[in-house]
Structures are given as structure tokens and as C-alpha cells.
Amino acid sequence: MFPGRRPRSQRRERPEVPGRRSRSRLSVRSVAGQVLVLQLVIVLLLGAAATVALVLQVRRDSTEEARGRSLAVAESFASSPGIVRELQSRHATALLQPKAEAVRKKSNLDFIVVTDDRGIRITHPVPGLIGKHFVGTIKPALAGGRVTEIVNGPGGEVSQAVVPVFDGHQHVIGLVSAGILVKKVSGFVDRQLPLLIGAVIASLALATGGTTLVSRRLRRQTRGLDPVEMTQMYEHHDAVLHSVREGVLIVGSDGRLVLANDEASRLLDLPPRPEGRPVEDLGLEPHITDLLVSRRVVTDEVVVAGERLLAVNNRLTDRVGGPPGSVATLRDSTELRALSGRADVAQKRLKLLYDASVEIGTTLDIGRTAEELAQMAVTRFADFVTVDLAEPVARGEEPLAVSGVEMLRAAVHGLSRDHPFYPVGKHFSFVASTPQAWGYGSGRPVVETDLAEATGWQAQDPEQTAKVVEYGVRSLVTVPLRARGVLLGMVNFWRMKEREPFEDEEVSLAEELASHAAVCIDNARRYTREHTMAVTLQHSLLPRALPAQSALDVAFRYLPAESGVGGDWFDVIPLPGARVALVVGDVVGHGLHAAATMGRLRTAVHNFSTLDLPPDEILSHLDDLIARIDQDESPGSLERIEGLEAAGESIIGATCLYAIYDPVTRRCTMARAGHPPPAVVSPDGSVEFPDLPAGPPLGLGGLPFETAELELAENSNLVLYTDGLIEDRRREIDTGLELLRDALSLPGRTPEEICTHVLDEMLPTTPSDDIALIAARTRVLGAGRVVSWEVASDPAVVAGVRAAVLRQLEQWGLGDCGFTAELVLSELITNAIRHATGPIRVQLLRDRGLICEVSDSSSTSPHLRYAATTDEGGRGLFLVAQFADRWGTRYTPDGKVIWAELALP
């Protein structure tokens, strides 16, 4: 009943008697002998079946092979060259007999016979049979068909084939028959059969040897126990059975108890000597009785037995060939159940804290973090969760640790959307008697087990709190949100009356949740503060309004990235002569450093623009500036400054596109430093990207910058942008340029409409880089607002020019400023005649002011100086500076232009 194995150290081995032991192992009465006999029978049956199958298969294949060979040789001989001629010859036998015999011997056939159309043999291996009638079926062959048949010959079965011989008119003039003994083809079965018999014998030997080896191994493992050893084994098993702390019951197939150890008798309170009695008569509880007699397999099923909880396992004993019945084990799990309950609660709380560490704080958004805290705790810890933050926290600021601070409802989440709590966005202050106010002031959690009796809490808003109680909310735990010594707000966990109220041991879990969420909210707050500062700095460094000018109708858009601030920037700068400069740039990198560098570059561009330099020279100056900034702010330089830590951040380059548009000549001069090319939209809607020399990014140095000049038609649109518009992680720059071309190729749109449409079509869902976009429609100062004169290098012509200027000003209705214009032009023309050579040109432009320009071929720049009282000259430019709003000099490829701008009356 209880088979087992004794320890190896206590086993004794019986001495073996040679011969007798081997015979007993393989006796037919032993299992090993029976297995051996079964294997021998199986191997013999398989060998016999294989032999029969081989013989049948070989016979069938041999017959088919004989038919095929005889037919193939007969057809080949019947189709051989010259056979028709030889058949029709008078000496047919003499001609065909040697030939047929040669083919027969070469193809290893038994005969090849040629007959005429009446079946009379012309050839035969036995010459004596020539001239006699062919034996076999020839009618189908005489009709033009083929005959293959198995006939019995003197040497056994013969496969013969008969085929016709056709003349040139497809008439049958004779027959060819070829035959071979079938046994010639099937002779190889004699070679295969010994191999098969050898394989069967080897299998029998292998089965016998394997059985012998297995029998020996089993004998060595069982060690052959004698009766004394069997008695000792049962004694050991009986001692173990009654000493274990687990009850064991064995029930027979008839429902009677076969065995019960001492622990089972104690757990079930069995009567004395219960073995042999029916289980129904043992006085057990009905559900335990049913379980023991039902032969139902159970695993760790917990049942109640009096005041105990028993874990029951029931298994059938006849599943593996044993006697019918079942074995049940009983384990007292009363204390274990209580411990497992507490462990299960602890495990769920640990799982909640782990999930909170993963799912709270996935973003650096304050509101989203508060919402994640509320969602995490609902149903697993509370029925509703509300999060209230100090109002400065929502702005990224640090709140003051004082009572009465204004709070903002940041998140509400619960079992139902229809809740009685303050909505998100509600501003309020905690009343001093509320648990939230006490907890915020002390920094400790507060528990309210019955809100219907909490008068201090109800004082916050009697009408609102009455709705909360009426809704069925029963208890509250309010925990302060504290991180790095800063109180950020309060989180409130609410439970309905259907659940047990919060207990003191649950407060620690609420504190853990609030502590982790507070750190995440504080991180988001600090990020919000830093991001707000960076965005404020960035926006303060960008143009807030476009300057007044008449050359271009300009619209712009600036969109910061989703996170961080970048160094993208743009500018519109009026230049002398009614010209306008458009600038777009991008500093590599993100953060405050990039924004500050962008501001310095924009200021430098303004300063260089006042010098009225061409675009390539301005980019060269910017390149030198970036190189100096990078050198001055390198970590080594910062470490030499006492008290200043190395920033560890340097500029690695910037891109820029600088364009100057002249509304008088409609020419646009551009240069770029590693920046994407501009787009030119013609009035008809066609889009071009000018082949503008790229140039290296600013700060790399080494290569000069080049300019390109375009002539733009009136009402053309010049579009400048940064790479954030055309390039992102999901598309290459070439694809972005084609998308931009499609977005711009619509005629008749204003710059505002162009900016709006381009962003609607191309703006990424989550921009990873800043985007700056400028659309400028060109205007032209027509002939009615521009007039010029060629002046000879002779002081005598100055008076005539002054008179022409006065007449022109009268036509424009600007006679009031004629004296000032006459004085300024007289000084500028006189200086040009005196100090310059070559042609002199005078030009007046009527724009927002009156612009007087005098150009010459000299590159010498005039300088303003203060003449002494004894000097006869030197006061001309001083007078110009006094009467003009602005004046200056710009250089051209042919010389220079001195200009002065006068205010219109």
C-alpha cells in the first residue's frame, strides 16, 4: 500500500549466482521477459511485412520496367533508318537479321523479331524459326496501334511489345516485336532480400540486448529487497505517516476509510479506530463527507471544519494503476489564512505604490500630474480624489507657507463624472476649521471617518458640503503635498458610505502617494517656472511690432517648440533710400543660452545694418562675432573668472539669411550662411527657390560669403523661414521643400493669408523645433515718386539743379520744405564736385520722408567735424546734420551714395 525505498546506507545486496540471475531476469514470467517477447514478435512481424511488400513492389516494378524496355526497343528499331527499304527488299532477312541481333544483344533483350504485314517472321534469334508465323497478338499493330503483353515462354514470363512499321504513305508494311524475360529485370530482389533479413536479425539482437541492459539497470536500482527489509520499510513509513503535521486520509472505492493518520484524527476529531468504517458514519460535516467520497480531484481547497480552516488536496489512487480509491491530505491554514490576508493587502498596497511611481509624473505638466494622481488612487484606494494646489504653484512660482493662501482645484476624479465637489479651475481658500487648513498649516495628514459629524469641515461651504454628504461620501483623508520643504497643496481621498472608512494604518499609504506626487508636481512647477522665464526672455528679444516702411507688405509667425526654447529669430529693418532688410536666423541648440545668443545676434544685426553694409559683409561680421562669443564663453575662459562656474555649454554655430529689397529698382540682394533658401512666389502663383550660394554656418569661419541679386516683379511674395518648418524627425528637408512649394503655389493671397495657410498645411503635430516664418509682398516706388538728374562736375551747374529740385517739390506739393532741401542738396553736390571725380547723380525719393541722395564714383567717406571760427569751410555736413532727420553714407560697387532724409511737412 505504501511502496518506498530505503536509504542507500541501509540496503543489503544479495549475492548473485552466475547464470541463474540472468535466466530469472529474462524469464517469461518477468516483466523484462514479457517485454522481450513482445519486441521479438513485433520485429518479426515488421520484417515479414517488409519482405512481402518488397516482393510485391519489386514484381510490379519489374513488370512495368520490362514492358517499357521492350516497347522502347521495338519502337526504336521500327523507326530506325533504312528499315522500310530493307523490309521491301527481296533480301529482307539477309539485311535485317544481323541488324536485329546486334540490337538485341546490345539492349540485353531475349528476342527482336521482324515480320511482314502478314505476321511471317523475317528475323528471329533462332534462324530455324524464320519464315514461320509470329506467335502473339498482332491485329492491333497491323491496324497501326501498339501491343504490350505478358506471355509465358520456355524460360518463364516474357514481356513482349509489337509495333508497326509505316512506309512513306503511312501504310503498315511490317511489324517489329521485342521481348525480355521478366525475371531478368527483377533479379535485384535477390540482392535486397539478404539485406532485409540482416536488418531483421540486427533488430532482434538489439531488442534482446536493450532489454537485458534495462533489466540489469532496474535490478541495480531496486537492489532486490527481502521480507525483513520490506517489514522495516513499512515500519519506517508508518512512523513518518503518523509524525507529520499534515493529515492523511485514504478512502477505498467502497467509501470506507482505509487509513487515517494521527494528524487527520486530530483535525477532524475522528472516533477511535476509524479504519474500515464508512466515511458517512464518522460524524464529519456534510461538505467534508461529500468531498471525501466524491472522488473529486481538488487542490488546496479551503473548507471549514469546526473552528478550523483546512486546506484539502484530494487525488485518485487508481490513475496510475494503483488500487481504486482516493487519498486526501489536510493542512490547518487557520493562522496562515489570516497572515495571507494581511500579506495580500500589503501586496496590493505595494503594487499601488509601484504603479504610482510609474504612472504619476509622466509629463512636466502640473495639471496633468495632478490628474494622474487622482486617476491612480480611484477605486484602488478611494472612490473620489481631489487635488488642490496653492494658486502660485499653478504659475510655476513657490507659494508662501502661510494660512489662508488661495487654492486652485487642479484635478477631480472618481467613480462618476456627476460629483458634488468643486470643479477643476475653482479658486477658493480653506476655512481655518477645516481639516485641509489644519493639515496645510501643520504639514500632517488628517482623517475624518464620518463627514456627517465633522462640523469643522462643513464650515468650508455649508451648501456644498451638504451636497457631498447627501451624495453618499462618508470619510476623508487629506494629506499635504510637500516636496523639498515646500507646501504645494493638498490631496483629498474620499470614500463612499458603501466602503469601510479610512483607518489609521491607511494614512501611511496616502502619505506615500502624496509624497511621490508632490515631488512630480514640484518638478513640473520648477520646469514651468524655468520654461516661463525662458519663453519670456525669448519673446522679449523678438520683434513685438513691425517697423513702418513702404517697400514691403510684411506678415510673420513665430511658434516655439513644444518643450524648451530655441534660438530662432527674425527681423524687419528699414534702410536708407526706402529699402528694407529682411533677416531670419537660427542659433543651434535650445535653452536660455540659445535664446540669449539669439538676442545678441539680433542686436548685432541692427548695429551692422546702421552701417548700410551689403549682406555678405554683414554675415562676415556676424561670423566673427559668433567665433568670439564661442571663444569667450568656453569652459576654460569661465573657470578663470572667480566665483563663476563653467557653463559647459558653447555655441556650435548659427544660420542666417539676410536680404535687402530696393523698391525703386525692384532688386533684392541676398546672402545666406547655412540657412534654407528663400521662396519667391510670382504674381501668377509659381514658386521658385533661388539658387543662392549657401555659405557655411556662422561661427565656423574659413570661407567667404557670396551674394545673389534678383529682380522681383511688383506684388511678388518673398518667403523666409527656419528649418523647423520644413524638417522634422519624420521627413527630410527635400520633402519639406516640396510641401512648402505646394502650400505657396496659389496666386492672389496676402502675406497674412500665406502665413496662415503654410502653417495649416505644414505645421507638425508636436513641433520639436521653433518655427519662424516671414511673408513679404513687394511694392514699387513708381516714377511719380522718384526723380533723378545727372550733374556735371562743374560748380556752375549747382544753381540749375537747385531750381529743378524746387520745381519738382512744387509738383509734389512739398514747397514748404524746398529751402531745406535746396540747402542740403547744395552742400552734398558741392562736396561731390569738389572731392570726387566722374559722373554725379542726384535723386529725390518721396516716401514717408523726403530722401535726397547724391552719388559719385569716389569711395572716400565724408566725416562730420566742427569747424573753428577762423575756418573758411568745413560746415557743410554740420548743416546737413542739423537740418536733416537722418543722414549717412552707403557704398556701391561704383562708388558711394550720400543721403539725407527730411521730414515731410
State the pLDDT at residue 875.
56
Q: Which three cell numbers stand for residue 806?
A: 524746387
Helices 366-377 and 334-359, packing angle to 10 deg: 160
CA atoms of 541 and 601, how far apart (whole Å): 10
Given a cut of 80, whether residue 447 has pLDDT beyond it is: yes
- Could you tell me which residue, 495 or 872, shows the higher pLDDT? 495
Residue 259 CA: distances (Å) to CA of 245, 256, 708 = 16, 9, 107
Burial of 142 (0-12, 13-18, 19+ CB in 10 A): middle
Tell me the percentage of the chain whose pLDDT exceeds 90.
Answer: 22
State the pLDDT at residue 592.
75
State the pLDDT at residue 341.
57
CB atoms within 10 A of CB 472: 12
CA atoms of 305 and 309, how far apart (whole Å): 6
- Could you tell me which residue, 81 or 211, shows the higher pLDDT? 81
Dihedral angle sign, alpha carbons of residues 727, 733, 736, 742: positive
Given a cut of 50, whether residue 871 has pLDDT beyond it is: no
Amino acid identity of 268?
L
CA atoms of 45 and 859, how far apart (whole Å): 119
Give the residue-averaged pLDDT of 234-253. 78
Give the residue-averaged pLDDT of 139-164. 83
Residue 185 CA: distances (Å) to CA of 63, 126, 193, 670, 875 = 8, 23, 15, 97, 134
Strand-by-strand arrangement of the 172-181 sheet: 111-116, 172-181, 156-166, 147-153
Given a cut of 60, whether residue 747 has pLDDT beyond it is: yes
Given a cut of 80, whether residue 178 has pLDDT beyond it is: yes
Q: How confident is the model at residue 202 (pLDDT cuts 50, 70, 90)?
A: confident
CA atoms of 85 and 92, how far apart (whole Å): 9
Residue 269 CA: distances (Å) to CA of 272, 282, 291, 306 = 9, 9, 17, 10
Tell me the percentage of the chain whose pLDDT exceeds 70.
Answer: 86
State the pLDDT at residue 33.
67
State the pLDDT at residue 1.
39
State the pLDDT at residue 677.
93
CA of residue 577 relative to chain centroid, distance:
56
Q: Which three cell numbers stand for residue 584?
A: 531670419
User: What φ, ψ does residue 898 adopt, rounded to 5°?
Assistant: -105, 125
Reported as a single tens digit per residue, the pLDDT across 805-820 is 888 888 888 888 888 8
Q: Which of 390-394, 442-446, 452-456, 668-672 has the highest mean pLDDT?
A: 668-672
State the pLDDT at residue 620.
92
Given a cut of 80, whether residue 789 has pLDDT beyond it is: yes
- Could you tell me which residue, 686 or 75, shows the higher pLDDT? 686
Amino acid identity of 343?
A
Given a cut of 90, whether residue 364 has pLDDT beyond it is: no
State the pLDDT at residue 802.
85
Q: Output 197-205 pairs: Cβ under 8 A, ≥24 positions apart.
A: 197/47, 197/51, 199/47, 200/43, 200/44, 200/46, 200/47, 200/50, 203/43, 203/46, 203/47, 204/40, 204/43, 204/44
State the pLDDT at residue 4.
38
Of 159, 161, 149, nearest in space to 183 by CA: 159
Amino acid identity of 138?
I
8 A C-beta contact, residue 573 and residue 606: yes
Given a cut of 90, whether residue 224 has pLDDT beyond it is: no
Burial of 399 (0-12, 13-18, 19+ CB in 10 A): buried
- Could you tell me which residue, 717 or 364, shows the higher pLDDT? 717
State the pLDDT at residue 640.
46
Give the residue-averaged pLDDT of 710-727. 92
Place of cell 494658486: 391
Amino acid identity of 684?
D
8 A C-beta contact, residue 151 and residue 157: yes
State the pLDDT at residue 872.
41
Q: Which residues have C-beta within 8 Å of that of residue 370, sequence separation ≥ 6? A: 387, 389, 410, 411, 517, 521
Strand-by-strand arrangement of the 849-856 sheet: 786-791, 840-846, 849-856, 895-903, 886-892
Counting every residue written for the chain, the total comes to 905
Q: In sequence order, which ranges of 334-452 are alpha helices (DSSP H)?
A: 334-359, 366-377, 391-394, 435-442
State the pLDDT at residue 189.
53
pTM to 2 decimals?
0.54
Q: How confident is the model at residue 803 (pLDDT cuts 50, 70, 90)?
A: confident
Reported as a single tens digit per residue, the pLDDT across 351-360 is 888 888 888 9
Given a cut of 60, whether residue 381 has pLDDT beyond it is: yes
Give the residue-averaged pLDDT of 548-571. 84
Reported as a single tens digit per residue, the pLDDT across 523-554 is 988 888 887 777 777 777 788 788 888 889 99
Q: How confident is the model at residue 648 (pLDDT cuts 50, 70, 90)?
A: very low
Residue 84 CA: distances (Å) to CA of 91, 169, 241, 359, 695 = 13, 11, 104, 99, 94
Side-chain-side CA neighbours of 216 within 13 Å: the count stands at 7
Q: Which residues have C-beta within 8 Å of that of residue 640, sequence separation ≥ 6? A: none
CA atoms of 383 and 473, how far apart (whole Å): 9
Angle at 786 between CA 782 and CA 790, to 5 degrees: 135
Burial of 306 (0-12, 13-18, 19+ CB in 10 A): exposed
State the pLDDT at residue 188.
52
State the pLDDT at residue 495.
93
State the pLDDT at residue 9.
36
Q: Which three cell numbers stand for residue 582?
A: 529682411
State the pLDDT at residue 424.
93
Residue 281 CA: distances (Å) to CA of 257, 296, 315 = 10, 20, 22
Least trusted range by pLDDT, from 207-221, 318-332, 370-384, 636-650: 636-650
CA atoms of 93 and 86, how far apart (whole Å): 9
State the pLDDT at residue 527.
83
- Could you tell me which residue, 271 or 242, shows the higher pLDDT? 271
Angle at 668 between CA 667 and CA 672, to 5 degrees: 155
Of 445, 521, 513, nearest in space to 486 by CA: 521
State the pLDDT at residue 686.
93
User: What φ, ψ does residue 574 adopt, rounded to 5°?
Assistant: -65, 140
- Helix, strand, or coil (residue 331): strand
State the pLDDT at residue 647.
44
User: What φ, ψ does residue 637 adopt, rounded to 5°?
Assistant: -70, -40
- Could you tell me which residue, 488 or 129, shows the higher pLDDT? 488
Given a cut of 80, whether residue 28 has pLDDT beyond it is: no
Residue 215 CA: distances (Å) to CA of 33, 208, 383, 603 = 9, 11, 70, 100
CB atoms within 10 A of CB 742: 12
8 A C-beta contact, residue 560 and residue 535: yes
State the pLDDT at residue 401.
58
Mean pLDDT, all residues of the chain: 81
Reported as a single tens digit per residue, the pLDDT across 597-631 is 888 898 999 999 988 889 999 999 999 888 887 77
Given a cut of 50, whether residue 261 has pLDDT beyond it is: yes
Reported as a single tens digit per residue, the pLDDT across 298-348 is 887 888 887 777 888 888 887 766 778 888 888 877 766 565 556 667 777
The two beta strands, 895-903 and 111-116, are unpaired
Of 542, 544, 384, nearest in space to 477 by CA: 384
State the pLDDT at residue 798.
84
Residue 342 CA: distances (Å) to CA of 34, 307, 350, 353, 623 = 59, 20, 12, 17, 71
3-state helix vs strand vs coil in the chain, percent to 5: 40, 25, 35
Give the residue-averaged pLDDT of 703-720. 92
